Amino acid sequence: MIITVTLNAALDVTYRVPSLRPHTTHRVLDIAERPGGKGLNVARVLADLGHHTVVTGFAGGPAGDELRRRLAAVTRADLLTDALVPTAGPTRRTVGVVDAASGDTTMFNEPGPTVSPAEWASFVEVYRSLLASGEAGAVALCGSLPPGVPVGAYAELVREARSAGVFALLDTSGEPLRRGLAARPDLIKPNADELAGLTGFSEPARAARDARRRGARAVAASLGAEGMLAVTEEGLWRALPPGRLTGNPTGAGDSAVAGLLSGVVEELPWPRRLARAVALSAATVVAPAAGEYDRAVYEELLPQVKVDAAG
Amino acid sequence: MIITVTLNAALDVTYRVPSLRPHTTHRVLDIAERPGGKGLNVARVLADLGHHTVVTGFAGGPAGDELRRRLAAVTRADLLTDALVPTAGPTRRTVGVVDAASGDTTMFNEPGPTVSPAEWASFVEVYRSLLASGEAGAVALCGSLPPGVPVGAYAELVREARSAGVFALLDTSGEPLRRGLAARPDLIKPNADELAGLTGFSEPARAARDARRRGARAVAASLGAEGMLAVTEEGLWRALPPGRLTGNPTGAGDSAVAGLLSGVVEELPWPRRLARAVALSAATVVAPAAGEYDRAVYEELLPQVKVDAAG
pLDDT in tens, B22-39: 999 999 999 999 999 999
Q: Is the pLDDT of residue A123 over 70?
A: yes
- Please state, in angstroms and rounded to a whole number, the distance separating the CA atoms of residues B279 and B298: 5
What's the topology of domain A2-7+37-91+114-309? UDP-N-acetylmuramoyl-L-alanine:D-glutamate ligase (3.40.1190)
- Map out the domains of chain A as residue ranges: 2-7+37-91+114-309
- Report the percent of chain B where pLDDT is more than 70: 100
Question: How high is the pLDDT of residue A248?
Answer: 79
Region B47-55: mean pLDDT is 97
Region A257-277: mean pLDDT is 97
Residues in chain B, total: 311
Q: Given pLDDT bands bounded at 50, 70 and 90, which one contains residue B310?
A: confident
DSSP code for A191:
B
- Please state, in angstroms and rounded to a whole number, the distance separating the CA atoms of residues A110 and A276: 33
**Cα-Cα-Cα-Cα dihedral sign, residues B70, B76, B77, B80:** negative
Q: Pick one of 3.40.190.10, 3.40.1190.20, 3.20.20.70, 2.60.120.260 as the CATH number of B2-6+37-90+112-309.
A: 3.40.1190.20
Question: How high is the pLDDT of residue A19?
Answer: 94
- Report the percent of chain A where pLDDT is more than 90: 90
- Please state, in angstroms and rounded to a whole number, the distance separating the CA atoms of residues A138 and A4: 9
CB A103 within 8 A of CB A124: no
Question: How high is the pLDDT of residue A185?
Answer: 98
Cβ separation A22–B22 shorter than 8 A: yes
Higher pLDDT, A104 or A272: A272
Region A113-118: mean pLDDT is 96
Region A80-108: mean pLDDT is 94
Convert B99-130 to b/e letters by CB count within 10 Å (16 or more is b).
beeeeebbbbbbebbebeeebbebbeebbeeb
CB A190 within 8 A of CB A177: yes
Q: Which amino acid is at A227?
A: G
Q: Given pLDDT bands bounded at 50, 70 and 90, which one contains residue B289?
A: confident
Cβ separation B109–A26 shorter than 8 A: yes
Q: Is the pLDDT of residue A202 over 80?
A: yes
Task: Tell me, yes or no, if B78 is annotated catalytic.
Answer: no
Closest chain B residue to the Cα of A20, Cα to Cα: B22
C-alpha closest to that of A54 among A149, A145, A156, A131: A131
Q: Distance of alpha carbon A292 from its chain centroid, rounded?
A: 13
Q: Which of B12, B186, B210, B254 is catalytic?
A: B254
Closest chain A residue to the Cα of B98, Cα to Cα: A23
Region B281-297: mean pLDDT is 88
Region A214-241: mean pLDDT is 95
Question: How high is the pLDDT of residue A36?
Answer: 93
C-alpha closest to that of A150 among A187, A189, A186, A124: A124
Region A110-116: mean pLDDT is 93
C-alpha closest to that of B231 among B180, B195, B183: B195
Q: Is the pLDDT of residue B231 over 70?
A: yes
Q: Which amino acid is at A123?
A: F
Q: What is the mean pLDDT of chain B?
A: 95
Distance of residue B95 Cα from the nearest chain A Cα, in angstroms? 10
Q: Given pLDDT bands bounded at 50, 70 and 90, which one contains residue A311?
A: low
Strand partners, A142: A6, A171
For A15, which of B28, B66, B108 is closest by C-beta distance?
Answer: B108
Region A188-194: mean pLDDT is 95
Question: How high is the pLDDT of residue B311?
Answer: 61
Q: Is B134 exposed, middle or buried (0-12, 13-18, 19+ CB in 10 A)?
A: exposed
> Which stretches of chain B sit within 8 Å of chain A by CB?
15, 17, 20-28, 30-31, 62-63, 65-66, 95, 97, 99, 102, 104-111
Distance of residue B145 Cα from the nearest chain A Cα, in angstroms? 14
The pLDDT tens digits for A161-189 are 999 999 999 999 999 999 999 999 999 99
Higher pLDDT, A157 or A112: A157
H-run or E-run covering A33? strand A30-36
The pLDDT tens digits for B149-194 are 999 999 999 999 999 999 999 999 999 999 999 999 999 999 999 9
B285 to each of B166, B256, B262, how far by Cα in Å?
Answer: 30, 11, 19
Question: How high is the pLDDT of residue A246?
Answer: 81
Point out the least confidently predicted range of A62-76, A288-302, B47-61: A288-302
Cβ separation B26–A107 shorter than 8 A: yes
Question: How high is the pLDDT of residue B184?
Answer: 98
CB B60 within 8 A of CB B90: yes
Q: Which amino acid is at B306?
A: K
Region B112-124: mean pLDDT is 96
Chain A residues whose beta carbon lies within 8 Å of the beta carbon of residue B25: 106-107, 109
Interface test with B, best of A12, A67, A104, A108 (most B CBs within 10 A): A108
Higher pLDDT, A55 or B111: A55
Question: How high is the pLDDT of residue A250?
Answer: 82
Question: How high is the pLDDT of residue B202?
Answer: 95
Residues of A classed as catalytic: 254
CB B236 within 8 A of CB B274: no
Cβ separation B95–A108 shorter than 8 A: yes
The pLDDT tens digits for A19-48 are 999 999 999 999 999 999 999 999 999 999
For B23, which of A26, A31, A104 is closest by C-beta distance?
Answer: A104
DSSP code for A189:
-
Q: Which amino acid is at B169?
A: L
Q: What is the mean pLDDT of chain A?
A: 95
Q: Is the pLDDT of residue A103 over 90?
A: no
**Cα-Cα-Cα-Cα dihedral sign, residues B186, B191, B192, B197:** negative
Phi, psi of B210 (to 5 degrees): -65, -40
Interface test with B, best of A15, A28, A68, A107 (most B CBs within 10 A): A28
Question: How high is the pLDDT of residue B291?
Answer: 75
The pLDDT tens digits for B64-92 are 999 999 999 998 999 999 999 999 999 99
Region B273-282: mean pLDDT is 97
How many other C-beta atoms lie within 10 A of the C-beta of residue A271? 17
C-alpha closest to that of A75 among A53, A54, A55, A45: A45
C-alpha closest to that of A255 among A285, A234, A226, A221: A285
